[in-house]
Structure 1
Amino acid sequence: MRLLLLSCLILVSVLGCHHQPSDIPSSHLTPRGDCQTVRHLGGETQICGHPQRIVVLNPKMLDIVLSLNVQPIGYAEIFSNRRGDFDQPSQQIPYLGDRITQPIANLGMSSNPSLETIIKLKPDLILGDIRGNQQQYSQLSQIAPTLLFDYVGRDKWQDSLQAIAKVLGRTDQAKKIVAAHRQQIATTRQVLAPIVKAYPKVLMVSSEQLNSSINIVTPLDFCGGLLEDIGFKLATVSNSIPTNITQQISVEKLPQFDADLIIVQGYNIVELSRIRNTNSFTKSQLKSVQKSWQTNTIAQSLSASRNNRVYFIPSYICLGLPSPSGTQITLESLQEQLLPLDKTVNRN
């Protein structure tokens, strides 16, 4: 079950299977008349015209096509075992469902989408993840042109966005999305500048609940990268350049990390698999790790804990939505949680 995150379940990345992909060049397109040859992490795929019937195999791809003002016809989740189509997407798909204008087909799990359902949908484009969908790539490509991209990681969504936008004839929209992203970074950096100056060093960890080991998040992580983009410095296991998105340590080693602030990426696997209402999604994902942190003697001994400078964010945002919406949600959450520190900064 733990191997389902990067390919089909958020837990893979959380538990440390965060190796960066091989050095495959970023996706790019070579026009050929009405057709384009798309080079992506799965290979090279020829696409003619602008696809209209699009299937997406993870939340990142869903967010990208929605950001380009395109409505997909089918969606595969990274976590849920729900049955039936998404007939009420705003209540069934976290963070993105309210932007889906009509019911869409449920394709099952991201790492093992229903090929039979996809065939029935008759798509003209399938968008997926190199780790999660590589094994099905040959079969998916026989159904429709299939593009596979990287999932997690700092700013990797921009490569996917630009390639997909060109396929869909929406490059201008993609440029606006990237510009908006950069403006969000700049604005947040300015708003939080006093806090960054007073509390520059951040320890970000990921955990379902503290036990024998946890994961230190590095700048290669989507949310870790955002923290550094707005000026914070992430605490890591060593001074060497990280090669993975996380670095696993034992809980007992937490006191070795001297940090002004701590941000915890939390998740709840049981609740991930049985979403009933997206309104309570964030709370359900954080409940377990918050309780665990508050009752763990080692965690409570840290300076940040003693000074009430520990904050929480769902791992789903950082690992499930390393995308335009993930940026907005993360930065808004950071501002909401950290801005009260401004009063302390001014008082000192």
Structure 2
Amino acid sequence: MQQLHRFIKLLFLASITFLLISACNSNAFQNVKPQNQESATSECQIIQHDAGETKICGVPKKVAVLGPHMLDILLSLGIQPAGYAEFSAENIGQPVSEIPVLGDRVNTKPVSLGLRNTPSLEAIVRLKPDLIIGEDFLRQYYSNLSAIAPTVLFSGQENDWKQSIPKIAQIFGREAQAKKIVELYNQKVANLRSELAAVRATYPRVLLFASSELPASIEVRTGNSFSGVLFQELGFDLVLPENYKAAFGEISISLEVLSQLEPDIIIAIVTDYLHEDAMDRVKNVWKQNPLTQLMQASKQGRVYFVNYYTWGSNMRGPIAADIILEETRQILLSLADNS
């Protein structure tokens, strides 16, 4: 009988001990988050962009880049594309060799994703990117793109890259690098503005226009264009036709109207960059046309021809800006002796 009482007592003590241990373990698990869950939360961030906001977890390794503008920005940050959508259909096939200006900066072998305006959703699905990045004119594709991978869209107008590059850099943890890029650009503009002070005092009025085939197409660049903003930052006055309405930073005019303008300097942006003889064709028409030869800038040799891919509306990022600044320096400093 005594042994039975002892057994019951031990059984009771064991039950109490088990309940206490279980309660402690239960409380302990309630206070500890799973390690992988905490890690996943800490690695995610919300990126604000022109089409809304996107949650991105981790640092993207495989990036689908839709267009030369975004490629310009990403390459400036040291980020290489896994897939790429070009500006023109004639560049489809071998993206690296057929990306004008930027191709030699790409050290990957990006998959062709079609055109920047109409990207191939099928090609993007096959790529399986960690991130899709493009311009805000792709809003109509935003839901489809977002179903494939996290997607961010940013404005590429004027100098909007200064506002978008910090957000893009945030995705990759390169905010300090983006800040340095903007600071370096501003410093280069200030330095060149100072260098060109004498030239600007003598030749303050600049005409920027784009053409693929003179005299048929002439589009004067305004202060709402990429190159127009840059020249205004350098302190020059843009020459514009009166009583014309601008669309997307451009004013379409005839050669007759162009010849009536009175700029000190003319910069012709040749848009047909895909054909090697395009530059020579535009130059020859300019030199042979009696209307263009009546302009003082023509008579005095202050007409310069440049490439559209950089100067026009394709890249519009820090790399393009750097190239334009250097080419502007080479072009206009030659006028310093005459100023």
Interval containing the TM-score (normalised by the shorter chain): 0.7 to 0.9
Which runs of 5 or more structure 2 residues have no equivalent in the other structure? Answer: 1-40
Indicate yes or no: 2:331 matched with 1:325: no
Correspondence 1:143 to 2:148: yes
- What is the distance in 1 between the residues matched to 2:285 and 2:72? 32
2:51 to 29, 42, 49: 42
Count matched residues: 298
Residue 337 in structure 1 maps to residue 331 in structure 2: yes
- 1:290 aligned residue (283, 287, 300): 283
3-state DSSP class of the match of 1:55?
A: strand
**1:110 pairs with 110, 113, 116, which one?**
116
Please identify the structure whose Cα radius of gyration is greater: 2
What is the Cα deviation at residue 243 of structure 1?
7.0
Q: Corresponding residue for 2:106?
A: 100
Which protein has the bigger helix share?
2
Contact 1:285–1:314, Cα closer than 8 Å, also in 2: no
Deviations 1:107-135, CA, capped at 9 Å, x for gaps: 1211122222211221111111222x222
For 1:230-281, what per-residue CA distance to the aligned partner results, in whole angstroms no more than 9, with x for missing partners?
111101234999674011222111233211111111121663xxxxxxxxxx
Does the 8 A contact of 2:81 with 2:108 survive in 1?
no
**Paired residues of 1:125 and 1:146 also in contact (CA < 8 A):** yes
Higher relative contact order (CA 8 A, sep 6+): 1
Partner SS, residue 136 of structure 1: helix
Aligned to 1:80: 89
**Cα distance between partner residues in 1 of 2:166 and 2:281:** 37
How many Å apart are 1:178 and its aligned residue?
0.3
Q: 1:314 aligns with which of 307, 310, 331?
A: 307
- Does structure 2 conserve the Cα–Cα contact (< 8 Å) formed by 1:215 and 1:248? yes
Asked if 1 retains the 8 angstrom alpha-carbon contact of 2:166 and 2:175, the reply is yes
SS in 1 for 2:90: coil
Q: CA deviation at 1:167?
A: 1.4
Gaps of 5+ in 1: 1-31, 272-282
Q: What is the CA distance between 1:340 and its match in structure 2? A: 1.5
Counterpart Cα distance in 2 of 1:144 and 1:204: 40
Which amino acid in the other structure matches residue 61 of structure 2? Q
Deviation at 1:78, TM superposition (A): 0.4
Alignment of 1:171-320 (within 5 A): 171-238=175-242, 244-268=248-272, 271=275, 284-317=277-310, 318-320=312-314
